[in-house]
Structure 1
Amino acid sequence: MMKFILVELLVLLASSSVFSIEVDTDLGRVRGANLTSRLGLTFHAFRGIRYAEPPLGELRFLNPQPVKPWSPKTFDATEDGPMCPQPWDNMTDVSEDCLRLNVYTKDLKGRRPVIVFLHPGGFYVFSGQSKYLAGPEHFMDRDCVLVALNYRLGSLGFLATGTKEAPGNAGMKDQVLALRWIQRHIHRFGGDPGSVTLLGYSAGSISVALHMLSPMSRGLFHRGIAMSGAPYNPLQYQNNDIRLAKRQAGLLKCPQEPVKEMVECMRQKPYLDYVNTFKEMFEFSGHPILNWKIVVEEDFGQERYLIESPFKTARRGDFYKVPIITGITEFEFLSPAIYHLRNESIVRNYNQNWEHFAPIPLILERNSTQSRVGSRVLRDKYMPESRGKLEYPKSVKGLGELYSDAIIGVSFNRFLRLMAPHTHIYTYLFRYKGRYSFLINPDNQQAMAFKGPVHHDELLYLFHVGLKTPLLKQEDPENFMIELLTRMWFEFAQKGDPHNKDDEYLKDLNWPRYNSQEKGYLEIGTNLTAKTGDFFLDRYHIWDELFPLSSFC
């Protein structure tokens, strides 16, 4: 009887998520946990590993420093590390000591393709943690190594004064340092440092595109998957964002000049002061979505992330050319359109002074004649039925399409046009609508059944998004989409091509490469359908007339 109990206990421990596994690295030993994939396979999870020194004190706002060895101690990586400072329900899960990454692998031996997830969130929210947005259970049914990482956010990650005290882009340099960590250490976890694919969504997708342009990122990855985001909104890149820096300084009760004293004061403030002033950093109802900006850095002796405008770099073709998958959802930013049109104050502001307020969510230059005229033309073109006044629900379709194009679509289309002459691209339009969505009905807080998917919805099939869904199983109706997306993305990560005629799910896939002539793409819905021609081109053409791409290059 006792022997039977002991055997049962060992079996229980072996199947438990707390049953540990250890790996030796050049930095020291790392202890992880055994977890179970969506379809029941065991894999190893090493979570919360430091890849940089905590960006505290004098390191705040500056380039990250590589983590120091922790040997002879064993680093406990059995649970998620903290997320970077941001408003959150449980602030015990937040810390400025957040430059951590998670590594998931099925086997410590061999050399598997590595997929590195760069999380969304506008460069000011979310994380690479497993419990909220980046659960690894879906990808761990594929034969890859998955890495999800944190990077500094908001003012702590992107303060840009145009001086040596805060030159900007610290959060992007965090990503670079994480990629360097992967190059040096991922082989210990069964990963191939010569086969690294960046997978980014929204702000993470903008990051993927920027890593192709940054001299710091060359050679650190080999393919890119850029989903619903690109760095080509109709705004000129600057070498600072002193306006936003001074807004943050004022909220922190720091002097706004001279800059050196302003930054020194901001270095002394607790990170919770940044969190508590988060809402006041936006100009208009949480907008602009892309509030903290990537800048072209001046040379103060630091390693620089961007040395010229991404428009110029891309147009010249002088960038790190890797195969790319990129695409968008059918109804990207429908959600804020619904919420805004149900808000009496926002609707009143729009109806009384559209040309003042609209450029803020549309991410246009402030207080310029071109933006005022442009916003008026855009309203007439997108919402002709609302020339008199915007109202719910009449204006939802038009405002949703306008927000979608302003924040995502136009930039995505320009990314295609700029990259296509120089590298291999597969592009898609995601139209599948499952039971779950990031579009929430304001009346009952349930996933809102509408015409199709919105921003972030593909993530529900690539990851276990604990914020939105239970762990979906094989018998769930979304199973086929999980299988399709994870298999296509894995094939691309493995060889730069999403096809595999020997795979039961992909045997009939015919995904044409995008080029400037046929403009082929894949429509991802209940079926996978190859099509040609730029989608939504009639809408994007309006923007080309108002804000010509040539004026930014």
Structure 2
Amino acid sequence: MSSVRNISVKVKQGTLIGQESNLPSGNPYYSFKGVPYAVPPIGELRFQSPKPLEKFPESILDCSKEGNKSFHRDPFSSDIVGSEDCLFLNVYTPKLKSDRPLPVMVWVHGGAFLMGSGDSDFYLPVYLLEEDVVVVTLNYRLGMFGFLYAPDADVPGNAGLKDQLLALKWVKENINQFNGDPNNVTLFGQSAGSASIHLHLLSQNSKKYFHKVICQSGTSNMEWVMQNIPRYKTRRLAQLMGFESESEADIVKFLRETNETIDIFKHLIATLTPDERRRGLPMPFKPVVEAESSDAIVTKPPLEAAKEPNAIDIPVMMGYTSEEGITMLVNACRKLDELDQDLARMIPRSVDLDPNDPLCLVVADEMRKFYFNGEKVTMKKVKELCNLMTDYHFGIGIHAAAEIHARYQHKSPLYFYRFSYSGKLNLFKKWFNFTQLKGACHGDELFYLFKTGFEDAIPEEESADFKMIKNMCRMWANFAKYGNPTPDSDSKLPCKWTPVKPTTNGEQFVLDYLEIDHTIKMDKNPDDERIQFWREVYRKYNKHFLQPKL
């Protein structure tokens, strides 16, 4: 590896000093980390829409290391880390000059709208850079700082989504200076980042800033995405911190002026409703439907927006991992008896049944028969419980999103995948200690797209993991370049990935998808038996799978 060399790039806000480093292949790449894209959202700007930064604080900015992460509780150490002054992005480019500008991929990290960052400890995009694309990663406000809602006090919500949008505007304005093409931007992300992207895809104010999207394990209609009774959460947080008022303006003034940011984190989980606690959805502050405004993003229920015919006219890639539910198993296995005695808590809120309706016990009994062969939920049934968790938190929502897209968005090709590959880089499955289960945990595909600081060694070239990295990054980069992950011009990929067929209302929906495993191949209707079970539940209580209770 050669020594690091400084490199400068001028953008509209000033001059950046980045670094030249080496890719795994030995080729150079250039990184510019910790680039501020907004005025720090502190003081009076807490909870407000982000303000564009007109000029860097210094005319020449050192971009050799990342900026602050957003305030959050680190899931590995449980420490509270980060800062409110967190609106930074990172730009990585494999070439500062070429005959044509390169496609741009903008990454939005996941983390339940509550934790995480776009930093290189998790998301170093060297594998993608080998495919000749520019990659931008970013931080946005999390938790109550990004998603507090108090419309009577001029806090319309979704500040974190608006941070993401402002970063996209910065990319539009400046990415040409890094040899990126501002007219070929792909927005991609995972989990809560993916759900955010799906909301941007449905937003009139956002969609002009990107040209393709990749949604990995998250769509806006999933059970955990939209905030439930958001005004209650705002009021409850203030109460828990010792402040009572009937005035939303007074509550926001108190929350804006408090310096007890550590104290805020102590109380976040306590703002959850009893129903949210029962269902295991510990995500109090999330996106909301907001009033129309010049920077509003979610102005109608996502399901309603997704059903507007041909509102989407750009290519979409969407998919999930085979064992998403592993990520929920650690907590579930701590209280198996509680879960076994109240299986009705796993009936989606979108099924049109009141939680107190006796029919919930009927559905719970049907779930027990289907998933657990009528038996108790014990450690012997971990695989079956994982299937239920996968379907409840992810599978039902993403299958419905794919069908809605196929039925209503005929101008937009949809490429669907299921990632079931299990290799040495399936790090989440290892960390959660469920390596006995086949397939891929929620987030396991990330380590075949990004290099992480947790794994120093690059897989050997002849290994299955290395081949998976090459295949995944090539398909993702092809999609960014051409809107097609396996174009006819690329003969190096093992399979032709065909899009989902547009479906008219009278036709039965067929989900054509790419199975990404040791063998990569096309197939139809992933996890079909389980999805058919839920189709029947929704048919019985909602009249149709695509009519969830909002």
Normalised to the residue count of structure 2, the TM-score between the two structures is 0.88
Select which of 125, 128, 133 maps to 1:144: 133
Amino acid at match of 2:517: G
2:484 corresponds to which residue?
497
Does the 8 Å contact 1:324/1:425 carry over to 2?
A: yes
Cα distance change on mapping 1:439 and 1:182 into 2, 3 Å:
closer
Candidates 531, 547, 550, aligned match of 2:547: 550
Contact between 1:429 and 1:521, CA under 8 Å: does it hold in 2?
yes
CA distance in 2, matches of 1:370, 1:137: 52
State the Cα deviation string for residues 199-257 of structure 1 (Å, max 9, x = none): 11111111121111112202100001111111113699679611222332233323253
Unmatched runs of 5 consecutive residues or more in structure 1:
1-11
Deviation digits for residues 109-161 of structure 1 (CA, Å, limit 9, x no counterpart): 24100001111111111110011x21122112110100001111111111113
> 1:333 maps to what in 2?
325
Q: Which residue of structure 1 aligns with residue 404 of structure 2?
A: 418
Q: State the match for 2:506 in structure 1.
A: none
Match of 1:201 in 2: 190
Q: 1:541 aligns with which of 511, 535, 544?
A: 535
CA distance in 1: counterparts of 2:463 and 2:180, whole angstroms: 31
Matched, 1:455 2:452: no
- From 92, 96, 100, the equivalent of 1:104 is 92
1:82-114: CA deviation from partner (whole Å, max 9, x where unpaired): 110101349696111111111000122241000
Q: Which runs of 5+ in 2 are unaligned?
A: 504-508
Alignment of 1:301-380 (within 5 A): 303-317=295-309, 319-341=311-333, 343=334, 346-355=335-344, 357-358=345-346, 362=348, 368-369=354-355, 373-374=359-360, 377-378=363-364, 380=366
Give the residue type in structure 1 aligned to 2:183: G
How much has 1:366 moved relative to structure 2? 12
Work out which of the residue numbers 229, 238, 253 in structure 1 matches 2:242: 253
CA distance in 2, matches of 1:225, 1:275: 31
Alignment correspondent of 1:59? 45
Looking at structure 1, the residues matched to 23 and 512 of structure 2 have their Cα atoms a distance apart, in angstroms, of 34
- Give the 3-state SS of the residue equivalent to 2:33 in structure 1: strand
Relative to structure 1, is the Cα distance of residues 473 and 375 closer, same or farther in structure 2, using a 3 angstrom cutoff? Answer: farther
The separation in 1 between residues aligned to 2:240 and 2:496, in whole angstroms, is 54
Tell whether the 8 Å contact from 2:225 to 2:287 is kept in structure 1 after alignment: no
Q: Aligned to 2:378, what secondary structure does the other structure show?
A: coil
8 Å CA contact 1:128–1:150 kept in 2: the answer is: yes
- Pairing of 1:283-294 with structure 2 (within 5 A): 284=277, 287-294=280-287
CA distance in 1, matches of 2:474, 2:156: 40
| Offset of residue 349 of structure 1 | 2.8
Which residue, 22, 25, 35 being the options, matches 2:21? 35
Aligned to 1:9: none
Among residues 514, 519, 529, which one is paired with 2:521 in the alignment? 529
Residues 330 and 40 (structure 1 numbering): CA distance in 2 closer, same or farther, change over 3 Å? same
Q: Distance in 2 between matches of 1:366 and 1:29?
A: 56
Whole-Å Cα distance in 1 between the matches of residues 536 and 282 of structure 2?
22
User: Counterpart of 1:296?
Assistant: 289
Name the CA distance, whole Å, in 1 between partners of 2:285 and 2:387. Answer: 23
Change (3 A) 1:438 1:386: farther
| Partner SS state of residue 307, structure 2 | helix
Task: Tell me the equivalent position of 1:477.
Answer: 464
Verify: 1:428 aligned to 2:417, yes or no: yes
1:364 Cα deviation from its structure 2 partner: 5.6
What corresponds to 1:3 in structure 2? none
Alignment partner of 1:130 is 2:120: yes
Q: Using the TM superposition, give the Cα deviation of residue 347 of structure 1 relative to its aligned residue in structure 2, in angstroms.
A: 2.6
Matched, 1:154 2:147: no
Counterpart Cα distance in 2 of 1:20 and 1:236? 41
- 1:262-320, CA deviations, whole angstroms, 9 ceiling, x for partnerless residues? 11111112333333434444553893155433211124x56311221111111122634
Aligned to 1:465: 452
Which residue identity is paired with 1:303?
A: D
> In 2 relative to 1, CA 431–90 (structure 1 residues): closer, same or farther, beyond 3 Å?
closer
Superposition CA RMSD, Å: 2.9
SS in 2 for 1:458: helix
Q: Is the CA contact (8 Å cut-off) linking 1:382 and 1:401 kept in structure 2?
A: no
Q: Give the percent of matched residue pairs that are identical in Structure 1 and Structure 2.
A: 30
8 Å contact 1:254–1:266 — kept in the other structure? no
**Residue 486 of structure 1: aligned partner:** 473
Q: Is the 8 A contact 2:151 2:157 kept in 1?
A: yes
- Is residue 6–residue 17 contact of structure 2 (8 Å, CA) maintained in 1? yes
Deviations 1:388-426 (A, max 9, x none): 6422122x2232122111211111111111112411101
Q: How many positions carry a matched residue from both structures?
A: 527
Q: Is the CA contact 1:48–1:80 (under 8 Å) kept in the aligned structure 2?
A: yes
Which secondary structure does the structure 2 equivalent of 1:138 belong to? helix
**Contact conserved, 1:38 with 1:472, CA < 8 A, in 2?**
no
Judging changes above 3 Å, is the alpha-carbon distance between structure 1 residues 480 and 374 closer, same or farther for their aligned structure 2 residues? farther
Comparing 475-484 with 142-151, greater Cα deviation is found at 475-484
Corresponding position: 1:265 with 2:233: no
Contact 1:459-1:465 within 8 A present in 2 as well: no
CA contact (8 A) 2:326 2:429 kept: no
Q: CA deviation at 1:38?
A: 2.6
SS of equivalent residue, structure 1 residue 96: coil
Q: Where do residues 216-235 of structure 1 align in structure 2 (5 Å cutoff)?
A: 216-233=205-222
Distance 1:46 1:363 in 2: 44
Seen in structure 2, the aligned counterparts of structure 1 residues 38 and 249 have a Cα distance that, compared at 3 Å, is: farther
- Contact kept in structure 2, 1:139 and 1:462, CA below 8 Å: yes
Distance 2:250 2:24 in 1: 52
Q: Secondary structure at the match of 2:187?
A: strand
Select between 85-94 and 330-339 the one with higher mean Cα deviation.
85-94
CA distance in 2, matches of 1:108, 1:175: 24
Residue 321 of structure 1: SS of its match in structure 2?
A: coil
